[in-house]
Amino acid sequence: MRRFSQRNSLVTLSDINITPLLDLAFVLLIIFVITTPLLEQGLNLQLPSGVGHPEKEQLTKKDIRTVEVSPQGYYMLDRRKMPLGQIAEQLARDYAGNKNLLVFIRADENGRYKLVADILDQCEKIGIVRISLRTDPQPH
């Protein structure tokens, strides 16, 4: 009978060790679980309280653009940070292709009113009349 130590050294192993592969998969899963909510969140804003009225018509996602205004003075269009001029250009292109466009404006209740007024002015220049100033439906 042959002993284990006497086996030929050229014999290849037919088993694949998948433990490192599973470790890598679990690490990637944990990273994606942690980072996904951070990517989906827009600006952390304190919206002013208000009572909203339900929309009378059905809107689709392609009809809505969301502009967020931070208290520090920067803007985000659909979760992408960009300057006001670039937002105006993008809204103008979107409005030219979709006259049913609705712009949601989310601004912090403690932010400067001028920042919101600038967005409203840009929308007026473009011709967008469907604008919704978003509020927090439940008072703090």
Percent of the chain with pLDDT over 70: 71
Segment 47-103, tens digit of pLDDT: 666 565 555 566 778 889 999 998 888 899 988 999 999 999 999 999 999 888 999
Contacts of 86 (CB under 8 A, 6+ apart): 77
Gap between the Cα atoms of 4 and 135, Å rounded: 75
Q: Give the CATH number of domain 61-133.
A: 3.30.420.270
Computed over every residue of the chain, the mean pLDDT equals 80
- The residues spanned by each domain of the chain are 12-40, 61-133
Length of the chain: 140
